[in-house]
Amino acid sequence: MEKCLNLCRTEKISKWLIPYRYISELSRSTIAPCDISSTSLITAVGPSRNEMQLIFNNHHPAAIYNNFGCTELGTLAISKTQHNTISEYAPDRFTIINELIDWEIFPTFFKAKFKTENDWKIIGDIVKFSNGVFFWEGRNTVLTFNQHQIKVSDIEKWVRTYLKTSSFSLVPDFEFNLLYIAIFDKNLNTTLNDLNQDLQLTNKFKSCFFSKLDFIEFKDIVQGIKPSQPVLLSYFRGLHN
């Protein structure tokens, strides 16, 4: 990342396309500050607000774009953050909407299609519009623990708060009613036992537990792209924890 930062500065790069979650690395204290005020960063998953603040403080980018999208329809909504709008930023909040898309939003999923086509795509994410702003609230899936139905998206919210990061994927195994977690940041100090103990201390999730946890580097799999759910599921089924 430091070499890219220097390249942005010396070559007056105006757009830097950054893979999936790598932008968070720019907030780390191990990366020397570098003025890239001529460069806008375009990425998929936005950093936490604290990380966003650190990135602007350390490197002064012109803007940071992150987006919500899907393979079926591409970019659906965008967040553009500049130094004077950091206070409005949240990683799951998007203010610029793709005008090509028709939407129908339901409590546990949404339908969307290109306005020029008739083929509605059903996307299993929980989203909402509020005052013209688009919010992503997680994936919709339900697992049963001790006869209690639990939304995986609710556990996802808890994990996001607990780990203070979005660098993970929950992997539900519906066939065997199990839940796995892939963590994409090896600097996070947690274990399967720690996670389960603290999860079960909550009133809402006291019957829930993760069966397997593993730390996975993006670059080990597909060069920075999020590993797909079927791939992770296949991986965890073969993993002995």
Partner 1 sequence: MNNLVDYIRSDCSIVLPNGKMIHPHEIQTYKNFYKREIYTKLNGNTVGKVVLIWSNNLDVILPAIKAIWELGAAISVHDFSLNVVAHPLFANFYKHIDVIIGPPLPDSVLLDLPRIYALETKMSYPEYADGQPAQEIFQLDSTLYPDVTYQLNDTVSGDTVCCITHSSGTTGEPKIIKTTHNTAIDLVQENIKLFEFCSTDRVLHHKTLHHGSLFLNYAIPAFVTTNQHYWTVQKSRRYCCIYGKMFKFVPYRKNI
- Site residues, partner 1 (CB under 8 A): 3-4, 7-8, 11-19, 22, 39-40, 42, 65, 67, 69-72, 74-75, 78, 96, 98-100, 114, 116-117, 123-125, 139-141, 172, 174, 219, 221-225, 228-231, 233-234
CB of 124 to partner 1, least distance (A): 3
CB of 213 to partner 1, least distance (A): 19
The edge-to-edge listing of strands for the beta sheet with 93-94 is: 93-94, 133-139, 125-130
Are 213 and 222 spatial neighbours (Cβ–Cβ below 8 Å)? no
- Nearer Cβ to partner 1, position 193 or 225? 225
- Nearer Cβ to partner 1, position 185 or 198? 185
How far apart CA 193 and CA 215 sit, in angstroms, is: 14
Task: Name the H helices within 85-241.
Answer: 152-163, 192-201, 219-222, 229-237
* Residue 119: strand pairing partners: none
- Nearer Cβ to partner 1, position 38 or 196? 38
CB of 223 to partner 1, least distance (A): 5
CB of 102 to partner 1, least distance (A): 13
In the three-class reduction of DSSP (H, G, I as helix; E, B as strand; rest coil), residue 25 is classed as helix
User: Percentage helix, strand, coil, to 5, in the chain?
Assistant: 30, 30, 40
CB of 87 to partner 1, least distance (A): 22
- Nearer Cβ to partner 1, position 120 or 193? 120
- Nearer Cβ to partner 1, position 19 or 31? 19
Are 212 and 176 spatial neighbours (Cβ–Cβ below 8 Å)? no
Give the tokens for residue 59.
């490197």
